[in-house]
Structures are given as structure tokens and as C-alpha cells.
């Protein structure tokens, strides 16, 4: 499939799934997966990053519109989108020459796991810190981050597992 169409559809699909299904899960009253950040993991590494940064911001902002949360999703999504490159260098030893051939699904599972876990935890931590917006209940932020990260990661790996089998 054409890459542009695929990522366009993924963008819309991620928003719809997040807003109408995942935001209503609230397991145990507060544990919620935020699977839309999968878009950040999967988007190809380009030399020109303006489009990618803007899309990440837009993705977060639309989720914010639906969940009345100001700009916290936009902030945290844009943050992991920006630092993604740093972790690609650290975990996969890839540099600008390798970017066109880089595909996350073809990398070894261990490296992929580290990469996804790091970005997810950073995203969730920023998200819940801003949602709480005070230093009171800080333990709440940490527990929320840990439980929701686990939930998000399980969902992410399930989804990638299912779709990689089909190919």
C-alpha cells in the first residue's frame, strides 16, 4: 500500500479507536491505555522532520479536543516525537544513512522492546504529571504511569503480533 495513504488512515484510525473505545475502558476506575502513540513508533524516519513533528502535535491536539484536557496530549506526544531519534541512535545504532531502510518490525525483539517501553513510559509520565498539575498526589502519578504503561504496552505488542502474522 502507498505509504502516505497508509499513515493517513492510521492517523484517523488511531484517533477514533482512542477516543471512542480506549478512553472508555478505565480498568479499575483509572487505568487507561493510550495506544495512539503507536503512530509515533511506526512513522518512518525521514530526513525532513517538520511534517512528522507537526503530525505528532496535531494527533495529540485532536485527542485533547475530544477529552477536554487542554494541551497535555499534544505536549507529551510531541515530546516523544522529538526525542525518538535519540533513542533510535542509542538502541539500534542507526544513523542518518540508514534511515530510509529502517523498519521497526524487522528489528530484533529485545531492542524494539527497550525502545517502545522507554518512549511509552516517558509519554505517560509527562501526560499524568500535567493531568495532575501539582506535587500533591505524586504517588498517584507514578502508579498511574506504571499501570497505564503496562496496559498500553500489552495492547501495542498484541496488535503488532496480530498484524505481523498476516503478512
Partner 1 sequence: MQQLIYFLQKFKYFLFFMLLQLIALALIFNNLNFHRSKYVNSANSLTGGMYNKVSNISEYFSLKHTNNILLEENTRLRNLLQQKDISILNIDSTVIDTLKYFQKFTFSNARIINNNYAKEFNFLTIDKGEKDGVQKEMAVINSLGIIGITDNTSKRYARVQSILNKNSNLNARLKNSQYFGSLKWNGLDYNIVQLIDIPRQATVRVGDTIETGGKSTIFPEGILIGTVSSVNKNNAVENIINVKLFNDMSNLGKVYIVKNLHKEEIKNLENLVNE
Residue 53 vs 142, nearer CB to partner 1 = 53
Compute the distance between CA of residue 122 and CA of residue 36 in angstroms, rounded to an integer: 14
Compute the distance between CA of residue 27 and CA of residue 140 in angstroms, rounded to an integer: 15
Is residue 103 within the footprint of partner 1 (CB under 8 A)?
A: no
Q: How far is the CB of 66 from partner 1 (least distance, A)?
A: 5
Q: How far is the CB of 29 from partner 1 (least distance, A)?
A: 6
Greatest Cα pair distance, the chain, in angstroms, is: 49
Q: What phi-psi label fits residue 44: left (phi over 0), alpha (psi between -120 and 50 degrees) or beta? A: beta
DSSP, collapsed to helix, strand or coil, labels residue 27 as strand
Q: Which of 140, 143, 158, 164 binds partner 1 (CB under 8 A)?
A: 140
Q: Which stretch binds partner 1 (CB under 8 A): 48-56, 89-97, 110-118, 157-165?
A: 48-56
Q: How far is the CB of 123 from partner 1 (least distance, A)?
A: 13
Q: Which of 6, 20, 86, 138 binds partner 1 (CB under 8 A)?
A: 20
Is residue 57 within the footprint of partner 1 (CB under 8 A)?
A: yes
x/- map, 60-99, partner 1, by CB under 8 A? xx--xxxxxxxxx-xx--xx--x-----------------
DSSP, collapsed to helix, strand or coil, labels residue 46 as coil
The C-alpha cell 525532513 sits at: 48
Residue 10 vs 61, nearer CB to partner 1 = 61
Residue 112 vs 124, nearer CB to partner 1 = 124
Q: Which of 155, 116, 139, 159 is nearest to 22 (CA)?
A: 155
Beta bridge partners, 31, equal 27
Amino acid at each position: 500500500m502507498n505509504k502516505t495513504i497508509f499513515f493517513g488512515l492510521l492517523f484517523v484510525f488511531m484517533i477514533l479507536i482512542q477516543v471512542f473505545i480506549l478512553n472508555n475502558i478505565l480498568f479499575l476506575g483509572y487505568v487507561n491505555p493510550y495506544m495512539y502513540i503507536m503512530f509515533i513508533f511506526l512513522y518512518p524516519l525521514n530526513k525532513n522532520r517538520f511534517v512528522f513533528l507537526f503530525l505528532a502535535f496535531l494527533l495529540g491536539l485532536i485527542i485533547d479536543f475530544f477529552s477536554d484536557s487542554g494541551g497535555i496530549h499534544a505536549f507529551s506526544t510531541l515530546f516523544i516525537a522529538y526525542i525518538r531519534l535519540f533513542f533510535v541512535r542509542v538502541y539500534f545504532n542507526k544513523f542518518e544513512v540508514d534511515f530510509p531502510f529502517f523498519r521497526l518490525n524487522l528489528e530484533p525483539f529485545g531492542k524494539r522492546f527497550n525502545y517502545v517501553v522507554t518512549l511509552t513510559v516517558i509519554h505517560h509520565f509527562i501526560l499524568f504529571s500535567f493531568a495532575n498539575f501539582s506535587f500533591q498526589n505524586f504517588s498517584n502519578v507514578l502508579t498511574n504511569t506504571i499501570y497505564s504503561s503496562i496496559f498500553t504496552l500489552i495492547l501495542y505488542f498484541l496488535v503488532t503480533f496480530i498484524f505481523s502474522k498476516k503478512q
